[in-house]
Structure 1
Amino acid sequence: MSTLESPSEVYYRAYRDYWRKVNESDGFDLENISTPPYYMFKGLLPFDCVSCGYPYPVMVNLYAKVGLHRYNMLKGTNFQLDSLVKFNMLPNCVSSFYISLLAHDPALDPLEKTFQVRVDEQNANCLDFTCSIARLKDEVITKNPMIPHFHGAAVADGFFKGELPDWPSDDSLNDEKRFYLLKESEWQANDWISMYLELRDVLSQLEILEVAIETGIEEVEPPNERLEAKSANVYIKFKGMANVRYFRMIFEIGERVERKAVVRRVLDEDSGYMTLMGKFCGGQGTKKRPRSDS
């Protein structure tokens, strides 16, 4: 340290040096990078998934699968998660995750390949996040400066902008120009549908009862092509969730109660960003209690 440097200058120099080194791997490889020894400093927290325990194991596993889901949709592959290797995360309640994992595509090569997946949460306690990176480790690293927590999202067209839709009426669901009702064999074959539900409740054993997909495009032939749409509203009826916790909403309690959830997927093919948002339908709203003047 130079004798002419103030403590604040030393701190900011260490801060810049740390994030410069983190930026070299887009936040995925922190080995041999020292965190500045300042109690106020918030860098990435590294976790080894192979040799020791780590926090949020179910959620991180699901985020890794989301990244492979995004990669498969863009590349036409079928990579399946084998195991987590490590991940780094911001120490925030709304966090960003930088995940390294092993996966293989049975149709291409039984050998495992290393993937890197980045997920940025947008809101706490709800399904709202963007997967901005999902790639093979040896693919080109992005040239843009790294932002530790990304606040952007996939660019949606007019149909997928704005608030999430409510659950449609029975008559609307029967409109084959607007919706495609999946056969049971189809939602079982497309495991991303159950994954969307698990992202909302990682503990319950959920039973899917009905699935419909809306893409904003009428007269799709064959109708099941909507399953391959990059952007879609997915309507899922299910049971098995004993209690639903949702902001300012009250739901009936019980695992046998039929629940309804809407999940919006927007995959921007230009940027590669994929945003998932979701909500529960069918609850009763609660009003904020007025403040007492007494």
Structure 2
Amino acid sequence: MATADEEEYSVSMEEYHRHEREYWRMMAKSDGFDDDDSYECPVVLLSGLVPYDCKNSYLIPYPLLVKRYALLGLHRYNMLEGTSIGLAELVKFNKSMSYASSYYITLLANDPAATPSHKTFQVRVDETKFGYLDLTVSIARPKREAAKKPFVPHFHGGAVADGVFDGPLPDWPSDDALNDTRRFYVLKESEWQATDWISLYLELLICSSDREVADTKPSVISHLQIVEVAIETKEEDVMTPDERLSAKIAHVYITFKGLAKSRRLVEIGEHVQRRAIIRRVITSTCLTLLGKFWSGKDTEKPSMTLRRGEEDQSSNKRSRLS
């Protein structure tokens, strides 16, 4: 028999769903980026967004990953708009309560071509799989009112190309294939050193694959060294090197070293050269990244750093964003 307190705080399923609909209606006003302080939900929802203050809180999940999601959003914006906007600082983000999460990130960006140079940006990133680099950036824009289209709390799917740029990622190309200059371009060292997004893609692959790195081991990223980079574009697109670097549809093949330990790779040792394959597809509406490590065999088994039964919203102390 229920006690008086239990009867006071119990709600029917109909009432719960009514509050849930109202909560998402309020969140839709800002496309999920801002809470409405005027609305206080009287029940605990199982599908809401968890807010994080990047400037004043030390309890931030996956700080390296969140920062790189913000950088990826600015990268998408720069690719489409021809700008060179950089990250000044993260302000806050909302995160869905699931392993494969949606992140609604608010940040300050630096635009050297504008006055004032600092402006508030919004970036939305949706993960398709936990433990993999498989994600979509569906919003990357200066802060504004919500779009005039239905708000979907978690976005499934993304930009898809055709041919070899659709479906599973390819195997590592042979040396003979890399000599096909219609498909592949091997970057000069000066080119990949001057291209920030190549290291960003690699860091995203590592942080997505190993959440322990993304949560507590920022030094792992600082030790990475890129050795060689090749870009694959469509055979019919005969491009200059600059055009290949900015191709909206491409496979990026990265040879690197400096990763002393990773749960996703068998080899241990910072001097071991490893390989990563990453697909980029950019359309007018979204950017999709899909990536994997390559060692000549199946390396698709994910690293689950969270123990069975351990919740994503852990109470363990988190690192500040760095």
Unmatched tracts of structure 1, length 5 or more: 1-5, 289-294
- Rate the CA distance shift 1:244–1:166 in 2: closer, same or farther, 3 A: farther
Aligned to 1:237: 255
The DSSP-based 3-state class of the residue aligned with 2:117 is strand
- Rate the CA distance shift 1:209–1:141 in 2: closer, same or farther, 3 A: same
The alignment's C-alpha RMSD in Å is 2.0
Cα separation, 1, equivalents of 2:175 and 2:105 = 41
- Rate the CA distance shift 1:62–1:9 in 2: closer, same or farther, 3 A: same
- Rate the CA distance shift 1:30–1:282 in 2: closer, same or farther, 3 A: same
Displacement, 1:225? 1.6
Deviations 1:175-210 (A, max 9, x none): 212111111111111100000111122442210000
Deviations 1:11-53 (A, max 9, x none): 1211111110000110001141546343453210011112222
| Equivalent residue pairs, number | 276
The DSSP-based 3-state class of the residue aligned with 1:280 is strand
If the length of structure 2 is used for normalisation, what is the TM-score? Answer: 0.80
The DSSP-based 3-state class of the residue aligned with 1:128 is strand
Deviations 1:71-127 (A, max 9, x none): 001101011001001100011111000000011122444621100000000001110
The DSSP-based 3-state class of the residue aligned with 1:201 is helix
Aligned to 2:268: 253
Aligned to 2:119: 113
AA at the equivalent of 2:293: F
Q: Higher mean Cα deviation, 92-101 or 27-36? A: 27-36
1:185 to 184, 190, 203: 190
Percent identity at matched positions?
Answer: 56
Cα separation, 1, equivalents of 2:83 and 2:226 = 25
Alpha carbons 1:78, 1:105 under 8 Å: kept: yes
Displacement, 1:224? 3.4
Displacement, 1:218? 4.2
Aligned to 1:171: 176
Cα separation, 1, equivalents of 2:266 and 2:171 = 15
1:228 to 231, 243, 246: 246
Cα separation, 1, equivalents of 2:150 and 2:17 = 18
Matched, 1:96 2:109: no
If the length of structure 1 is used for normalisation, what is the TM-score? Answer: 0.88
Higher relative contact order (CA 8 A, sep 6+): 2
Matched, 1:14 2:14: no
Cα separation, 2, equivalents of 1:285 and 1:135 = 37
Q: Higher mean Cα deviation, 174-183 or 104-113? A: 104-113
Deviations 1:208-266 (A, max 9, x none): 000000111346242332011111100000001123434xxx62221111000000000
AA at the equivalent of 1:265: R
1:281 to 281, 294, 309: 294
Unmatched tracts of structure 2, length 5 or more: 1-10, 208-217, 302-322
- Rate the CA distance shift 1:9–1:40 in 2: closer, same or farther, 3 A: same
Alpha carbons 1:243, 1:253 under 8 Å: kept: yes
Cα separation, 2, equivalents of 1:57 and 1:98 = 14
Aligned to 1:267: 282
Alpha carbons 1:251, 1:283 under 8 Å: kept: no
